[in-house]
Amino acid sequence: MAFWSKLVTAVRGAVNEAGEAAVDSQAFRILDQEIRDAEEALGLAKQDLAAVMAEHMGVERRVQALQESITQHEGYAMQALDKGEDLLAGEIAGKIAEFEQELAAQSAIMDGFTENIRQLKHSIRQTERNIKAMRREVHMIKATEAVQNANDAITTRHAGATSAATSASETLARIKSRQQQRADRAAAARTLHQEEQGADLHAKLQAAGITPSGTSSAHDILARLKQRGAAKT
């Protein structure tokens, strides 16, 4: 059982490593897609913000209209009181009360919209900053990756160039050695030829009587002995 457990663990580890390797190989593509998703979500958030702001503007108009109605009816009530129309003034006051109740409700709605808009704007600005920062980070990571890939390529090529240079040096040394051997053989041949030419010339000179031969004749020996005897007397 322990063996099978370890085997299963090893297989799981291999699968995880393969999965991580696949993710790493597609890391930039995944990052770009995630950023595009974030930008799309940001665009939708801006649309929602625009809709909320439009509703807020509608509520603001209603609040302003109610305030104007209240001011207007307060004027009517004052005129009615000035004319002694207390009953009419009471009816107008009731209408003003309705306006004020509606104004309070609409003001609460407007305040809620105002707070929501503030929060949405803050979130959108923060998201925009995050996306820009992420874009910059991705550019830096891509640049770093490119530099590292270039360095790896240079290192690999340098290693290959060093090996090739070593091989080339050895080849050059062999070529130079062969050339030196050929040069030595040529020099030896020239020397031998010159020696042979010199021997032939010496023989020709001897035959012409210009130089003495390498051996002495009997006449020469007797002449030498006579000269030696005369020197003793």
pLDDT at position 203: 62
Q: pLDDT confidence of 15, banded at 50, 70, 90?
A: very low
Q: How many domains does the chain have?
A: 1
Domain, as residue range, for 42 = 26-151
Q: Which amino acid is at 2?
A: A
Q: pLDDT per residue over 17-67, tens digit each?
A: 445 545 555 777 888 888 888 889 889 989 988 999 999 999 999 999 999
Within-domain flag for 222: no
What is the helix, strand, coil percentage profile of the chain, to 5?
95, 0, 5
- Work out the burial of residue 182: count CB atoms within 10 Å of its CB; fewer than 13 is exposed, 13-18 middle, 19 or more buried: exposed
In this structure, is residue 50 part of a structural domain?
A: yes
Residue with the bigger pLDDT between 168 and 105: it is 105
pLDDT for 111-160, tens place per residue?
999 999 999 999 989 988 988 888 888 888 888 877 887 777 776 665 65
Whether 39 is covered by a domain: the verdict is yes
CATH number at residue 33: 1.10.287
Report in angstroms the alpha-carbon separations of 191 from 1, 64, 178, 205. 88, 124, 20, 21
- Give the mean pLDDT of 92-109: 94
* Tens-place pLDDT, residues 182-191: 877 877 777 7
Q: Give which of 62, 47, 162, 46 is closest to 110, Cα–Cα.
A: 62
Tell me what the mean pLDDT of segment 95-111 comes to. Answer: 94
The answer to whether residue 112 sits within a structural domain is yes
**Residue 62 covered by a domain:** yes
The reply to whether 37 falls in a domain is: yes
Handedness of CA 104, 107, 113, 115 (dihedral sign): negative
Q: Which residue, 100, 124, 106, 107, is CA-closest to 44?
A: 124
What is the spatial distance between Cα 124 and Cα 79, in angstroms, rounded to a whole number? Answer: 52
Q: Is residue 204 part of a domain?
A: no
Cβ–Cβ < 8 Å for 77, 95: no
Would residue 81 count as lying in a domain? yes
Window from 22-36, 97-111, 205-219 with minimum mean pLDDT:
205-219
Average pLDDT along the chain: 78
Higher local confidence (pLDDT), 161 or 147: 147
